[in-house]
Each structure stands twice: as C-alpha cells, then as structure tokens.
Amino acid sequence: MMVSFFEFFFEFQKKAHQAIFSWIPFSLGDLVYIMTGVFLLYHMISLFKKKKRQSSLLAILIGINIFYFLYQIFWGMLYFQVPIIKKLPGQEEPTTEKAKILALKYLEKCKKTRSLLKQDRNGIFIITDLRAVQQEILTRQTYLPKNISNKKAPEINSFKSSLFKNGMNFTGILGYYNPFTAEAQYNSQLPNTYIPFTCAHESSHQLGFAREQEANFIGYLIGINSKNPELRYSTEYFTLKSLLNFIVEEDPKFVKSVLQNYSLPMKRDRAYEKAFVLKHQGLLDDFFGITNNLFLKSNQQEGSITYSYFIDLLLTYETV
C-alpha cells in the first residue's frame, strides 16, 4: 500500500519536475549537487573553529537529514516495487546454452545494423543526430508491454550532458538519474556506442524503474525494435556484450569465437571502447566501482559487477 502511494507520487513529481526543469539548457541537478557539496565542505571546515563548531555540526546533520528525506520521498521507496521478473510468465533459470543461442542471434543483428551506420574517418561509429535518438527513446517508452509497465511516459526531453563528464571518464559511470530534478544525465564524452543505450537506461529511471538491471531491461525494450538504427545498434551491442560477460566464465572459448566473428566495423568500435577504458583506468575507477557496489546492495539490488538479473529478464522475455 505504501509503495503504491510512492509510485503514484513519483508519477506526479516527475511530470512536474520535468515541466519545470527540462527547458534549462544545462544540468540543474548537477548544480544542486555542487551547491550541496560546497555547503557541506564549508561547514566541515568550520568544525575546526571552536566558535562555529556546534552550529556547523547542527547544519551538517540537518542538511544530511533533509537530503536523505527528499531522496527517499522522490526515489528511494521505488526500490521496493514489485520486481519485473515476477510480471513475466515462464520463469526459468538462465543457462549458458540459452545465453549462447541468444548471443549468436545478437551478433548477427549487430552486424546487420552496424552496416547501416555512419562512421568517422577512422571507421568508428558516430551518432549523426543525438536529439533524434533521444526523441525516439521518448516515443518508444509509449510502446512498452502493458504487463511490464503501466507507467506514464510524459515524452518531455530532459536528457542532459553531465557537468561532471570530465571526471566521469575516470569513474566508470556512464550516466545517472537525478531524482531531485528528474533529469537523465549522461557522459557526452563516452564512445558513441555507449551513448544511445545509456540515454535509454537513464530514461527508464525517469519512468520510475529504480533497480539498475531493471532499467537495463527497460532500456533494452525501448531500443531493441527501434526504427532509429543508432539506438538499435547501441542496444543490440550492449545486449551482446552483457550475454558474453555472462557466458565468459563458463565458456571463454565460445566468447573468443564470437569476438573473432565481429564484423570489421564492430571490431573497430570494440577496440575504441577498450582504448577509452584503458586510458581512463585508475584508482578513481576502483573507488567508484566499490562505492557503487555498496550503494546497489544497500538498495535491494545485486552488486554493480553482475549482469545476472538482466540476463534472467532477457532470457525469460526472449523465450516467452
């Protein structure tokens, strides 16, 4: 009953927040985070001053409690929604063999779609019209299966390039949803193969799907049958990579064989992704990996390094 109330409240607040904040050309939510950080830093420094210690400690405690309260009201309670897996018929344990069949299917899909796309002078996939991709995501939200989602798609473009994009390159974070402004943030400096699906994923949070792997699945449903080939390729490619990550421990030879059978353009895209990741690897990446893992587990989810729930959803949906 309580969760249903917060689902209803979320529908109201997301529509209101998007109507108010979507027209602003930069990320207002990021600005809120910066101001909050400055506020906390100021009062933490003031703790070392005897005259201001008590008032600064009180300000920090009040600030943290207000922030946490608003977070729970706007977002946190949605982690307790009925899991999507319970809405799908024919629930079966995912097996490596089923995943292999699907991986081969998506390999062929990726090859076909990739051949339709534009590329730069180095042969790397490029997005020609990100605005059109984002509009397609909003349109595809309205076609989600009713047994999976009855959430309202406001069709308001509130995708924003993160103000923290330079730092995000070193964290492994592709995007995030701001529950205080209903903005979908993405890192605009990512390889283009990542960006359309990242936007679809964050738009799934905008719809009200809080769990990360459920947002992946809704992003998959949004992009997989899209008429926009850039969104479709990014979705197919993410799905293929997720399947291979699931399979690799059980059958690394199969994964190696699939990678060898990538088309030449796909191999160039993969090499560019790997180079981007290697360039930005470091302690910050490890730190955010650990903290994100802890955050997910504290919110009724698996850790950040596993794809198993997404694979559960994918294999169950594909075999229905």
- Per-residue pLDDT band for 307 (boundaries 50, 70, 90) equals low
Question: Which pLDDT score is estimated for 240?
Answer: 97
Q: Which domain holds residue 42?
A: 2-79
- Number of structural domains (the chain) is 2
Count of helices and strands (H, E) across the chain: 13, 3
State how far the Cα of 184 lies from the Cα of 238, in Å rounded to an integer: 19
pLDDT reported for residue 160: 96
**Residue at which a domain ends, from 79, 101, 128:** 79
Q: How far is CA 140 from the centre of its chain?
A: 16
Q: Which tens digits make up the pLDDT trace of 131-184?
A: 999 999 999 999 999 989 888 888 899 999 999 998 888 888 899 999 999 999
Distance CA 194, CA 174 (A): 8
Helix (H, G, I), strand (E, B) or coil at 125: strand
User: What pLDDT shows up at residue 155?
Assistant: 82
Same domain, yes or no: 49 and 104: no
pLDDT tens-digit readout, 33-87 = 999 999 999 999 988 887 888 888 999 999 999 999 999 999 989 999 999 998 8
Mean pLDDT (whole number) for 11-18: 89
Q: Which of 25, 51, 79 is the last residue of a domain?
A: 79
Q: Does one domain contain both 67 and 161?
A: no
How high is the pLDDT of residue 49?
A: 83
Co-location of 19 and 48 in the same domain = yes
Domain end among 15, 44, 79: 79
pLDDT for residue 47: 86
Do residue 27 and residue 45 come from a single domain? yes
189 and 300 both lie in a single domain: yes
C-alpha distance from residue 138 to each of 183, 196, 266 (Å): 13, 12, 27
Residue 101 and residue 173 in one domain: yes
**In a shared domain, residues 165 and 291:** yes
**Could you tell me if 312 and 286 lie in one domain?**
yes
One domain, residues 53 and 178: no
Same domain, 90 and 66: no
The overall average pLDDT reported for the chain is 88
Is 64 in the same domain as 173?
Answer: no
For residues 71 and 163, state if they share a domain. no
**Please, which residues have CB within 8 angstroms of residue 167's CB and are 6 or more apart in sequence?**
284
